[in-house]
Amino acid sequence: MTRTASLRRAAWWRAARTYANLVPFVFFALFPFYFMFVTSFKRNAELYNLKAVPFWIQTGAITDHYAFLFQKTEFLTWIKNSLTISVIAMTVSLAIAILAGYSLARLRYRGVGSFGTAVFITYLVPPTLLFLPLSQVINWLGLSDSIWALVVTYPTFLVPFSTWLLMGYFRTVPREVEECALVDGASRMQTLTRIVLPMAVPGVVCAALFGFTLCWNEYIYALTFVSQSANKTAVVGVTADLIRGDIYYWGSLMAGAVIASVPIVVIYVWFLDYYVSGLTAGAVKG
Partner 1 sequence: MFGYGLILPALVLLTCLVAYPFGMAIYFSLSDYWVGSPGPFVGLTNFREILGNDVFRQTVQNSFLFTGVALTLKTALGVWLAVLLARDVRFKRVLRGAVLLPWVIPTALSTLGWWWMFDSLYSVVNWTAIHLGLMSAPGPNWLGQSNYAMAAVIVVNTWRGLPFFAITVLAGLMSIPREFYEAAEVDGATSRQRFWHVTLPLLKPVLAVVILFSTIFTFSDFNIVQVLTRGGPVNTTHLFATLAYQIGLQGGNLGQGAAISLFLFPMLALVVFLQLRYIRKE
Residue 9 Cβ vs partner 1, minimum distance, rounded to whole Å: 17
**155: exposed, middle or buried (Cβ count in 10 Å: 0-12, 13-18, 19+):** buried
CA dist., res. 146 & res. 82, Å (int): 12
Distance set, CA 76 to CA 15, 38, 134 (Å): 47, 22, 28
Among 97, 165, 204, 207, binds partner 1 (CB under 8 A): 97
Q: How far apart are the first and last CA of the chain?
A: 52
- Check binding of 36 to partner 1 (CB under 8 A): yes
122-181: which residues touch partner 1 (CB under 8 A)? 122, 124-126, 128-137, 152-153, 155-156, 159-160, 163
Compare residues 34 and 70 and give the one whose CB is closer to partner 1.
Answer: 34
User: Which region among 62-70, 175-183, 198-206, 268-276 touches partner 1 (by CB under 8 A)?
Assistant: 268-276
Name residue 1's amino acid.
Answer: M
**Cβ 12 to partner 1, closest distance in Å?**
13
**Rounded to whole angstroms, what are the CA distances from 137 to 58, 126, 130, 155, 217?**
52, 17, 11, 15, 22
Q: Is 94 in the site for partner 1 (CB under 8 A)?
A: no
**Residues 206 to 265 in contact with partner 1, rule: CB under 8 A:** 213, 216-217, 219-220, 223-224, 235-236, 238-239, 250, 253-254, 256-257, 260-261, 264-265
